[in-house]
Amino acid sequence: MTLASQPPSPTILILGGGLMGLAIAHQLARRGSDVTVLSRRRSEAAGFVAAGMLAPHAEGLSGDHLRLGQLSLERIPGWVAQIEADSGLACGLRPCGIVVPFATAAERDVYPTAAWGVALDRAGLERELPGIGPGWQAGLLFRQDGQIDNRRQLMRALERACVELGVRFQEGVEVLELLREDDRLQGVRVRDAAATLQVLPASSAVLCSGAWSAQLLPELPVFPVKGQMLSLLGPREALQRVIFGPGTYLVPREDGLLVVGATSEREAGFTEGLTPFGQRQLQAGIEALLPEASQWPPMERWWGFRPCTPDEGPVLGCSSLEGLWLATGHHRNGVLLAAITAELLGACLQPEGCSPEQQALLDGFRWDRFNS
Ligand SMILES: Cc1cc2nc3c(=O)[nH]c(=O)nc-3n(C[C@H](O)[C@H](O)[C@H](O)COP(=O)(O)OP(=O)(O)OC[C@H]3O[C@@H](n4cnc5c(N)ncnc54)[C@H](O)[C@@H]3O)c2cc1C
């Protein structure tokens, strides 16, 4: 009997148990679907690496990407409330506002999202960010942007919510190959933690393997952009807002932990580990943005891989293979975009499909938009 002649499995396979995989599995399970998450290595997910900024405006996004980010930002409080209710765990959402500092007012005024922010002069910067370095004369305050504690709270809450809703997890399972017949997904070939090879039949799956997505579907132009991070322990409440500087940002958690990010290394490929150069770059950023923080004790250092695309926007929706859906390429904004991604993919996989508005949004992020 071939795979195609087997009765179709009702299980939706989620290929990758990172942030997108968890967010989509959660949404599908809430709608009553039968979901299995195949996860190679939980700890390598960028969802456990990110700074957790919710920053469509501070990031200076534009066009469809800005619109997607704004829609996701609007949905985040409701999405977080669902996860918290389903898991019984807090997600660490903090609508604290983000300040982007500039050396001159002229630079501030040409920032792509300047129209959405409050213009600050030096006095305004000092009021919003006591202790800010002397090199900054202007700023934009985006009150609507914020942060969520993805590393310590959101990812765990999502995992728990999924388990509570009956999602099955296969940890240590690597998807090796997508099995197809006549351009239709038939299943996946996997290797489990004991190195046993197996075929899992499936007629529906979501490819959300982050920076590694092109290893499973080479036509996807998704590549890794490495980021190194560190954290410091400052006095509680020393910094109320996120500072989003050029090349470095400082994200204050409620308990005084200051998350510092991030390098952006396109040439590094999947090379693991910290580098002295990357860590010096972060240190220089701390000194320029908030000199007193250079004296705060370091806590942790870590790194990870952003899933990037040529236009830095995500790849969402259908693929060239019937039954295979895509949710990858979220680059620097996956935490921000998780809420809208889960909503859109959740709708794609329902029998009734997406609404016309959802389809219009998805059309801006098709996988083959780079080919024209
Ligand atoms: C340094 C850094 C800072 C960031 N800061 C922010 C921020 O402040 N705000 C923001 O919005 N975003 C931020 N991001 C981006 C965000 O973290 C990512 O966009 C998001 O995590 C992508 O989610 P994902 O599920 O696609 O990938 P991941 O979270 O990386 O998960 C992918 C998972 O797929 C699994 N996998 C891969 N291949 C296979 C396979 N063949 N079989 C089975 N499993 C597989 C991996 O093991 C991994 O667990 C940051 C990222 C980095 C690296």
Distance 275 CA to ligand 1 centre (A): 20
% of the chain residues with pLDDT over 90: 96
- Residue 370's pLDDT is 92
Q: What is the mean pLDDT of residues 23-52?
A: 97
Axis-axis angle for helices 334-348, 356-363 (nearest 10):
130
Ligand 1 close to Cβ of residue 20 (< 6 A) = yes
- Residue 10's pLDDT is 87
Angle at the Cα of 267 from the Cα atoms of 315 and 335, rounded to 5 degrees: 40
Ramachandran angles phi, psi of 231, nearest 5°? -135, 150
Residue 92, pLDDT > 50, answer yes
> Distance between CA atoms of 125 and 281, rounded to whole angstroms?
23
This prediction's pTM: 0.97
Q: What is the pLDDT of residues 130-149, one digit of tens each?
A: 999 999 999 999 999 999 99
To test the pocket of ligand 1, the residue of 14, 41, 175, 335 to mutate (highest count of ligand atoms within 8 Å of its CB) is 335
> Distance between CA atoms of 67 and 140, rounded to whole angstroms?
19
Nearest CA owner, ligand 1 atom 27? 210
- Residue 6's pLDDT is 65
Atom of ligand 1 nearest to the CA of 23: 25
Q: What is the mean pLDDT of residues 27-51?
A: 97
| Residue 80 CA, distance from chain mean position | 15
Distance 219 CA to ligand 1 centre (A): 19
> Distance between CA atoms of 19 and 162, rounded to whole angstroms?
12
Ligand 1 close to Cβ of residue 61 (< 6 A) = no
Region of 345 please: left (phi>0), alpha (psi -120 to 50) or beta: alpha
Tokens representing 137? Answer: 């004369």
Ligand 1 close to Cβ of residue 265 (< 6 A) = no
Q: Which helix (H) or strand (E) holds 367?
A: none
Q: What is the mean pLDDT of residues 156-167?
A: 98
Residue 1, pLDDT > 50, answer no
Nearest CA owner, ligand 1 atom 52? 50
Atom of ligand 1 nearest to the CA of 41: 47
> Distance between CA atoms of 342 and 139, rounded to whole angstroms?
33
Atom of ligand 1 nearest to the CA of 229: 1
DSSP secondary structure letter of residue 274: -
- Residue 237's pLDDT is 87
Looking at every residue in the chain, the average pLDDT score rounds to: 96
> Distance between CA atoms of 48 and 150, rounded to whole angstroms?
7
Q: What is the pLDDT of residues 311-342, one digit of tens each?
A: 999 999 999 999 999 999 999 999 999 999 99
Ligand 1 close to Cβ of residue 36 (< 6 A) = no
Atom of ligand 1 nearest to the CA of 173: 43
- CA nearest neighbour of 175 among 204, 213, 219: 213
Tokens representing 277? Answer: 């150069």
- Residue 177's pLDDT is 98
Q: What is the mean pLDDT of residues 276-282?
A: 97
Ligand 1 close to Cβ of residue 38 (< 6 A) = yes
| pLDDT confidence band for 245 (50 / 70 / 90) | very high
Measure CA of the first residue to CA of the last residue in the chain; give whole Å. Answer: 40
> Distance between CA atoms of 145 and 74, rounded to whole angstroms?
10
Distance 92 CA to ligand 1 centre (A): 19
Ligand 1 close to Cβ of residue 345 (< 6 A) = no
Distance 46 CA to ligand 1 centre (A): 3
Residue 303, pLDDT > 60, answer yes
Distance 271 CA to ligand 1 centre (A): 15
Residue 70, pLDDT > 50, answer yes
Atom of ligand 1 nearest to the CA of 42: 49
Q: What is the pLDDT of residues 334-361, one digit of tens each?
A: 999 999 999 999 999 998 999 999 999 9
Nearest CA owner, ligand 1 atom 31? 18
Residue 4, pLDDT > 60, answer no
Nearest CA owner, ligand 1 atom 41? 175
> Distance between CA atoms of 36 and 180, rounded to whole angstroms?
19
To test the pocket of ligand 1, the residue of 212, 220, 308 to mutate (highest count of ligand atoms within 8 Å of its CB) is 212
**Is there a contact between 207 and 217 (Cβ–Cβ < 8 Å)?**
yes
Distance 291 CA to ligand 1 centre (A): 31
Ramachandran angles phi, psi of 45, nearest 5°? -65, 135
